[in-house]
Structure 1
Amino acid sequence: MDLTNTLHHQNQSDPHSFSKPKEAKITHVDWVLKIDFSLKKISGAGTYFVQHKNAPEVVLDVKGILIQKVTLDDNPEGIEFKLSEENPILGNGLHIPLKQGTEKVVIHFETQPDAAALQWLEPSQTAGKVFPFLFTQSQAILARTWLPCQDSPSVRFTYTAQVTIPPHLLPLMSADNPQCKNETGIYYFMMEQPIPSYLLSLAVGDLEFAPVGGRCGVYAEPVSLENAAWEFAETEKMLKTAEQLYGHYLWGRYDLLVLPPSFPFGGMENPKLTFATPTIIAGDRSLTSLVAHELAHSWSGNLVTNATWNDFWLNEGFTVYFERRIMEHLYGQEYAEMLHTLGYQDLLQTLKELPEHDTSLKLDLSGRDPDEGLTEIAYEKGNYFLRHLERLVGREKFDQFVTTYFSTFSFQSMDTECFIEFLEKELINGNEELRQQVNLNAWIYSPGLPATIPAPQAVLFEKVEQELQRWREGTKPVELETSNWSSHEWQYFLRSLPSEITESKLSELDQAYNFTQSGNSEVLAEWLLIAVHHQYQSAYEALENFLTHVGRRKFLMPLYKALLHTQEGTALAKKIYSKARPNYHAVAYTSIDQLLEAK
């Protein structure tokens, strides 16, 4: 099809970047970086290849980075550059004047110890307790805090990097990675596929590698590696399933890195190397839908990328839908429907909490931190919109549409309006009755959920309901039929407990199922939320331990919010937070700071 016409909507600029890629665009970067744990800084230089038609300048995004020197092409003499006035959310625009025919810009720079993308961990904050650790989190607009870049998801570039580190550690990037340490501490990386800046990543630590398939493997600290490799043993099977659904995997290897528990997300889909939280290592492979999610991003997000953060649903809605299709293929439709049902519950809760204008799929985040758009609206409302389309046209036709979508727009950006054009042409195709049924305006531009959306029906949760009813009628917890339950059934069970419940009933459940000591983070987080709401103090020690050692924002925010409902809880929240905050990444503590400041 003719992409020129289809992509005309993408002339709109990115409200979260100073860069002007239509005038001068970065296409490739060669970085030379040195990692200094003692000073907590990254220093080095980048050679940026610029595509332009005699543009007067190229503009990059920086925030808190010290720019030491800028040169053009092969001339070692520094030139004058300009930093725009600082914006508290966006940082600065780095304006570099270009000469006619300039092809390369070399930028020498140094990060600050408080760079928001970087978390420098002391040995005590790692699994092994011997060596320090560094990891990055660039999404949404934090890449600019550790590397000068055109920090917009609409700009893609290839890169290489030479990284120097202490020789007893191993560095990894969103690139082709080493599988063992060398004696020099100098490593070379290459990313041949063009990626946006939010997928730039770096981790440095005492890491080892274990293969779990021909194209897949796991990196972790030595003490965690065996458990991690067992937990993720089905990754290659997931990859093959994904390819059967929507086409070839175009990134070479797919590896996982298990990070220390302070990582603020479940996972981050850095190309070739998913960053994963250790909280998904449950010992029974019950939480690996997160791996399916990050793997699905290799198509939706990494391959076809939201053009701006206002279009974030295009990344996450497709990914949730794709993730559940992988899980359905591997474990059956009943299993996948449990995931849809829990996701639907999360969506309904989010709709209660968010202001109405933030519940449309297409957002307007101008003047705001784009992290405010990283909600269940993009993930679950986006997923339900795609399920709605599937129901209307049938799975076979919808799968053809999705496959064509990924192949047509590979390594390109996509905004909502461009997607609608593609949908109109490829799926609706002049069918006025179908257009009315699709109801694009209600789904994409209107708040909330369309009234016609059917709630998911999980057969396996109906069985949980039966056991809950028996418990309500007086059956003791130990006599309930729970032996074959997965994490998902337990989550649903806990979410379905009555809002009014006595301490003795909680204690009875706890003794029967050992919730307070659960090694499953999803189940434990649900239980701790119940404990806070009902002041079940027997779980408070576990609560403090969880909040102190786990940095995953998905768990932290609901627990801190729940604590703040009472005076006693607020005092406890502040006491725990004073101890826990140094263990959190900036993405997490920035959100919790705002919560507590309001109290």
Structure 2
Amino acid sequence: MVSPIASGSPTASTSPTTSPVALSPDPHSYSGLSPVRVRHLLLELAVDFDSRTLAGSATWHLANAGEASPVIFDTRELAIESVERLDGSGTVAPAEYTLGTADPVLGQPLRVALANDTTGVRIHYRTAPAAAALQWLAPAQTSGTQPFLFTQSQAILARTWLPCQDSPGIRFTYEARVRVPAHLLALMSAANPQQRSASGEYQFRMDQPIPAYLMALAVGDLEFAPLSERTGIYAEPATLPPATHEFADLEHMVAAAEQLYGPYRWERYDLLVLPPSFPFGGMENPRLTFVTPTILAGDRSLTSLVAHELAHSWSGNLVTNGTWNDFWLNEGFTVYFERRIMEHLYGREYADMLQVLGRDALHHTIEEIGATSPDTHLRLNLAGRDPDEGLTEIAYEKGCSLLLTLEGLIGRPRLDAFIKEYFARFSFQAMDTDTFLAYLRAELLDKKPGLEARLQLSDWVDGPGLPANTPAVTSHRFEAVDQALSRLAAGTAPAALAQETAEWSSHEWVHFLQGLPPTLSAEQLKPLDDAFHFTTSGNAEILTAWFPHTLRAGYAAAAPALENFLRHVGRRKFLVPLYRALLATPNGPQRARAIYAEARPNYHSVATGTLDALLAERT
């Protein structure tokens, strides 16, 4: 057990810790029923790779515990060992507590009785070996020779490794002391070390208030490489050189973002490249974005993902969705912001490719969900469901399309001024859809008669599918790709296209593969593969667009590469369409079950939760 941090009052943050927005109740947090709110966390944890557990204590300083009301925390499969009350003088006394009935998604409410003089609560606990937020990797699952641990707290998985008020509308500052094996480095979503501690003990501090879903921890054989005074890369030793090359423009991205929408408020912006089992492309943990190694394409063509996570430092981390029903307020703004960063750095034609690919993904999602489904609304109703179900292209791409529509109506300068002021005015606060719409009307729409009707705002927010005024998106560079596809269809040999495709980015290749007829035979795929080497590509985006063609055609030459990909890559964005394509083939269910049985230990629970259901439906 780690020695306790002093239990005195925390240093006050210079940023507000409560939101003036009167938020609607959060259907995914028991803490919404608590009249008492947390304001600062002192976290003590020991990391045990043998038992695959975290053990220690969470000391919560409370914002408004003047009355003897209970305080409620969210927990899920945590072993609560004891709970104590603290008063202003530091006196510690046992506290009465109860754990409510367990829900498979929400977990259990932990209710702690308070006295009139209570200022804090200390909870001694231990995580379960299979805690959903935690992924424990053996050395064989990494790029080195040491084990690895990382967390993924979004959307409501923080409660599986930390008793907390797990609602995006509740913010707190924190300090932490974490003990790990002495040969490993520990990192958090906080001020981080850049070298190993000989003792294996690390201290962290986050002075800006964050919601629980942005709590993050990683432990592994990690090294650091600076890119600028405020940016750098953490990665395993074998991964660090290619990552340093891939993200050389990171400081330029931060500067571009500041030029667009105001100062970066989190001091440092570093990246941690995780092992390939990470289930997302990236996670915008403050100060330390977690990213997948699948974006290490070698040509910096997939770094828009980093621009996306950086944009979250304003949209999401700085101004946060009040509940997961308001998720579009995070992601719609972030996608729009991401593409503005990429346009600033690489030009309009580059950003246009991203817009077209995003719109294509949105149309695919709407077709999959159903054009009239309420799940295609921006404002969601996820009560009684896992909020992870709302993490679709609707929030991302439909939200971005709303902002593109507004940009077309009022012009970029006016929209930029609005967004910049929005981030400044609501910094370190939560925002829900109703409050945002009222702010949008007051600051923009009501100042120009008829503008809201032209925007068709209600159709965007509370209507299905895409409204009729959705702006078209086009790409000049994709027009050249379409011409190549036309010549290919007319009989041009793939090898004859080699010269004009030599400078294509990953985005152009993905568009090319998505434009191929789905009826190509194995005999027709082979010359394409011979000319462009898709099967042996090291680019995960290209492979994910290529493999469905090979599965439909029965192109046996790609089978080993596909199976290797599924066994080692854990990014859900890639796994779901590939398993679906595999399941749709003759003998596909049997083959999918065999691959999945071997690969599942490499996947995070975020991925297995989706894939378990998918394979159960099809087998």
1:4 corresponds in structure 2 to none
Deviation at 1:214, TM superposition (A): 1.5
Q: Do the aligned residues in 1 keep the contact of 2:243 with 2:296 (CA within 8 Å)?
A: yes
Q: Which moved more, 1:320-329 or 1:47-56?
A: 47-56
Q: Which moved more, 1:557-566 or 1:223-232?
A: 557-566
Q: Is 1:378 aligned to residue 395 of structure 2?
A: yes
Q: Secondary structure at the match of 1:562?
A: helix
Letter in 1 for 2:382: L
Structure 1 length normalisation: TM-score?
Answer: 0.97
**Equivalent of residue 590 in structure 1, options 593, 604, 609:** 609
Q: Is 1:447 aligned to residue 460 of structure 2?
A: no
Q: Do the aligned residues in 1 keep the contact of 2:404 with 2:471 (CA within 8 Å)?
A: no
Q: Do the aligned residues in 2 keep the contact of 1:23 with 1:55 (CA within 8 Å)?
A: no
1:97 corresponds in structure 2 to 113
Letter in 1 for 2:450: E
1:106 corresponds in structure 2 to 122
Letter in 2 for 1:493: F
Q: Deviations over 1:103-138 (max 9, x none)?
A: 01011000010000000000110001x110000000
Q: Deviations over 1:461-491 (max 9, x none)?
A: 0011111111111111111121111000000
Deviation at 1:77, TM superposition (A): 3.6
1:162 corresponds in structure 2 to 177
In 1, the alpha carbon distance for the partners of 2:469 and 2:448 equals 20
Deviation at 1:438, TM superposition (A): 1.2
Deviation at 1:533, TM superposition (A): 2.5
In 1, the alpha carbon distance for the partners of 2:512 and 2:592 equals 26
Q: Secondary structure at the match of 2:566?
A: helix
1:39 corresponds in structure 2 to 51
Q: Is 1:318 aligned to residue 295 of structure 2?
A: no
**Equivalent of residue 534 in structure 1, options 544, 553, 558:** 553
**Equivalent of residue 390 in structure 1, options 396, 401, 407:** 407
In 1, the alpha carbon distance for the partners of 2:223 and 2:552 equals 41
In 2, the alpha carbon distance for the partners of 1:233 and 1:8 equals 39
Q: Do the aligned residues in 1 keep the contact of 2:320 with 2:431 (CA within 8 Å)?
A: yes
2:298 corresponds in structure 1 to 283
In 2, the alpha carbon distance for the partners of 1:161 and 1:248 equals 27
**What does 1:566-581 correspond to in 2, within 5 Å?**
566-581=585-600
In 2, the alpha carbon distance for the partners of 1:8 and 1:235 equals 34
Deviation at 1:21, TM superposition (A): 6.8
Q: Do the aligned residues in 1 keep the contact of 2:34 with 2:71 (CA within 8 Å)?
A: no
Cα RMSD after superposing both structures: 1.1
Number of equivalenced pairs: 592
Q: Do the aligned residues in 2 keep the contact of 1:45 with 1:106 (CA within 8 Å)?
A: yes
**Equivalent of residue 159 in structure 2, options 131, 138, 144:** 144
Deviation at 1:47, TM superposition (A): 1.1
2:271 corresponds in structure 1 to 256
**Cα 1:9–1:447 shift into 2, 3 Å:** farther
Q: Secondary structure at the match of 1:70?
A: strand
Q: Deviations over 1:292-345 (max 9, x none)?
A: 000000000000000000000000000000000000001100110000000000
2:225 corresponds in structure 1 to 210
In 2, the alpha carbon distance for the partners of 1:250 and 1:205 equals 28
Q: Do the aligned residues in 1 keep the contact of 2:23 with 2:431 (CA within 8 Å)?
A: no
Which runs of 5 or more structure 2 residues have no equivalent in the other structure?
1-18
Deviation at 1:569, TM superposition (A): 1.2
2:243 corresponds in structure 1 to 228
Deviation at 1:567, TM superposition (A): 4.0
Q: Which moved more, 1:427-436 or 1:23-32?
A: 427-436
Q: Is 1:71 aligned to residue 84 of structure 2?
A: yes
Q: Do the aligned residues in 1 keep the contact of 2:230 with 2:269 (CA within 8 Å)?
A: yes
Q: Do the aligned residues in 2 keep the contact of 1:9 with 1:417 (CA within 8 Å)?
A: no
Letter in 1 for 2:79: L
**What does 1:54-65 correspond to in 2, within 5 Å?**
54-65=67-78
1:408 corresponds in structure 2 to 425
**What does 1:454-469 correspond to in 2, within 5 Å?**
454-469=471-486
Q: Secondary structure at the match of 1:471?
A: helix
Q: Deviations over 1:145-184 (max 9, x none)?
A: 0000000000000000000010000000000000000211
Q: Is 1:334 aligned to residue 349 of structure 2?
A: yes
**What does 1:506-585 correspond to in 2, within 5 Å?**
506-585=525-604
In 2, the alpha carbon distance for the partners of 1:127 and 1:59 equals 41
Deviation at 1:197, TM superposition (A): 0.2
**Equivalent of residue 435 in structure 2, options 389, 410, 418:** 418
**Equivalent of residue 296 in structure 1, options 282, 287, 311:** 311
Deviation at 1:455, TM superposition (A): 2.4
**Cα 1:514–1:473 shift into 2, 3 Å:** same
Letter in 2 for 1:558: P
2:39 corresponds in structure 1 to 27
Deviation at 1:561, TM superposition (A): 1.1
Deviation at 1:431, TM superposition (A): 2.3
Letter in 2 for 1:244: Q
Q: Do the aligned residues in 2 keep the contact of 1:10 with 1:307 (CA within 8 Å)?
A: no
**Equivalent of residue 100 in structure 2, options 84, 87, 90:** 84
1:3 corresponds in structure 2 to none
In 2, the alpha carbon distance for the partners of 1:131 and 1:460 equals 44
Q: Is 1:432 aligned to residue 449 of structure 2?
A: yes
2:196 corresponds in structure 1 to 181
Deviation at 1:8, TM superposition (A): 7.7
In 2, the alpha carbon distance for the partners of 1:303 and 1:330 equals 23
Q: Which moved more, 1:449-458 or 1:249-258?
A: 449-458
Q: Secondary structure at the match of 1:180?
A: coil
Letter in 1 for 2:349: E
**Equivalent of residue 214 in structure 2, options 176, 183, 199:** 199
Q: Which moved more, 1:526-535 or 1:32-41?
A: 526-535
Q: Deviations over 1:8-33 (max 9, x none)?
A: 87342100000037610000000111
Which runs of 5 or more structure 1 residues have no equivalent in the other structure?
1-6
Q: Secondary structure at the match of 1:443?
A: helix
Q: Deviations over 1:14-56 (max 9, x none)?
A: 0000003761000000011100011100000111001224151
Letter in 2 for 1:408: R
Q: Is 1:273 aligned to residue 273 of structure 2?
A: no
In 2, the alpha carbon distance for the partners of 1:459 and 1:430 equals 36
Q: Deviations over 1:199-254 (max 9, x none)?
A: 00000000000011111000000111111111111000000000000000000000
Deviation at 1:267, TM superposition (A): 0.2
2:322 corresponds in structure 1 to 307
Q: Deviations over 1:79-121 (max 9, x none)?
A: 2200111111100000001111310101100001000000000
Q: Do the aligned residues in 2 keep the contact of 1:279 with 1:520 (CA within 8 Å)?
A: yes
In 1, the alpha carbon distance for the partners of 2:392 and 2:551 equals 23
Letter in 1 for 2:591: L
Q: Do the aligned residues in 2 keep the contact of 1:532 with 1:559 (CA within 8 Å)?
A: no
In 1, the alpha carbon distance for the partners of 2:398 and 2:603 equals 29
Q: Secondary structure at the match of 2:385?
A: coil
In 1, the alpha carbon distance for the partners of 2:239 and 2:296 equals 10
1:122 corresponds in structure 2 to 138
Q: Do the aligned residues in 2 keep the contact of 1:84 with 1:92 (CA within 8 Å)?
A: yes
Structure 2 length normalisation: TM-score?
Answer: 0.94
Q: Deviations over 1:366-415 (max 9, x none)?
A: 00000000000000000000111111000000000000110010000000
Q: Do the aligned residues in 2 keep the contact of 1:21 with 1:155 (CA within 8 Å)?
A: no
Letter in 2 for 1:166: P
In 1, the alpha carbon distance for the partners of 2:297 and 2:387 equals 31
Q: Which moved more, 1:209-218 or 1:67-76?
A: 67-76
Q: Do the aligned residues in 2 keep the contact of 1:59 with 1:94 (CA within 8 Å)?
A: yes
Q: Secondary structure at the match of 2:37?
A: strand
Point out 4+ residue stretches in structure 1 off by more than 4 angstroms.
none
